[in-house]
Amino acid sequence: MDSSASSPAISDPTETKKLLDKLVVLKLNGGLGTTMGCTGPKSVIEVRNGFTFLDLIVIQIEKLNSKYGCSVPLVLMNSFNTHDDTMKIVEKYSNSNVKVHIFNQSQYPRLVAEDFTPFPCKGQPGKDGWYPPGHGDVFQSLMNSGKLDAFISEGKEYVFVANSDNLGAIVDLRALEILNHLIQKKNEYCMEVTPKTLADVKGGTLISYEGKVQLLEIAQVPDAHVNEFKSIEKFKIFNTNNLWLNLKAVKRLVEADALKMEIIPNPKEVEGVKVLQLETAAGAAIRFFDHAIGINVPQSRFLPVKASSDLLLVQSDLYTLADGYVSRNNARANLENPSIELGPEFKKVSNFLSRFKSIPSIIDLDSLSVSGDVWFGANVVLKGKVKIAAKAGVKLEIPDGTKLENKEINGPEDLSG
């Protein structure tokens, strides 16, 4: 199904309210912002105009609840790493018309790789001995929390699950067309997939295997076939991890202990000890649900912020912000986003922000590569292909108002003319 197809139910506000009253929105909120140099939950990183991921999510649902007179709840699945901080943070939404529910996912002991004994038994009783076992745990943990039964008793039918750092995973009229389709066709599970680009070659894809729709992740692919898996000709779509689940079906399958997802071993090293984390992915559950489908959605529904280069994109004039929704600026002619590579000096959010007096205009940018000790002034404009590489030990400042188009900058002398 192409989600751009129009649906008569969506144009009628009464029917829209009926659909929304059947919906729960759940965000996977177990990740920390450590890879971007932040402490605490990743969802509290400021994305744009001082708003965090969580702020934007709450604003979006507030607007829906106000406009249609409905009560779509927001559920956050935390890990033991993010729970305490999140509990404090959500207090700011206490006067909102969005009811925020919180529950913790499971925590499992890491296994010592050498002999598979639980790490806590080997003298690591603290947090480092444990791990959250991936988002495949959402089904069991939602059930364990008691919230699954509560939502079913309130008449809720479907939960929309998405990563909290995916700014494209919004509930708008296009998303409600998906929900309406699922209800009409009795699809218990739906995975949103989108066309693969060269930036997304590692994303899981859907395959037909043993008569079932199944998810294939890169971690399950033998080394000899990894390049084949990454091919955008052979595997044309990838999993956005935007999932729609029928609540009663989740209850049925969890109670029957029927969700036997593939275990993905994730090797780590903690304090010099090689350990294993055994994880599962929520997408892998697709084969256990009746009438499970994938729906091809526009790439706008996949806008994750995984690194400071992604922050540069969403904070720039390439995107606009209205009612909590971050949307692509129609003024950009190229359908693809520019490719952006920032050096390690920009990795931490605090360093990234300090190196830009203001975010450059990149509406006509094709690619940007920045390395070394580079600092950007205000109102810089970048177009075409731009490469800026400061020499070792040299601070390179891009002055206010500089316009760079198809240029390579290695020092101040390259900025004149």
Element spanning 150, H or E:
helix 147-153
Q: What is the structure's pLDDT at 98?
A: 96
Tell me the C-alpha distance between 190 and 283, whole Å. 9
The CA distances from residue 296 to 123, 200, 335, 362, in Å, are 48, 15, 17, 28
Render pLDDT for 39-59 as a digit per residue (tens, 0 to 9): 889 999 999 999 999 999 999
Render pLDDT for 168-224 as a digit per residue (tens, 0 to 9): 999 998 999 999 999 999 999 999 999 987 777 778 888 888 888 888 888 888 889
Would you give the distance in Å from CA 258 to the centre of its chain? 27
Residue where the block lists tokens 């600092």:
375
Q: Whose CA is closest to 218, among 191, 200, 242?
A: 200
Q: What is the structure's pLDDT at 320?
A: 95
Tell me the C-alpha distance between 299 and 192, whole Å. 10
- Torsion angle of C-alpha atoms 304, 241, 160, 17, degrees rounded to 10: 60
Q: How many helices (H) and strands (E) does the chain have?
A: 11, 25
Q: Residue ranges of the alpha helices (H) in 246-386? A: 247-255, 308-315, 349-354
With a cut of 50, list the residues of the chain below it in pLDDT: 1-6
Q: What is the structure's pLDDT at 307?
A: 93
Q: What is the structure's pLDDT at 200?
A: 73
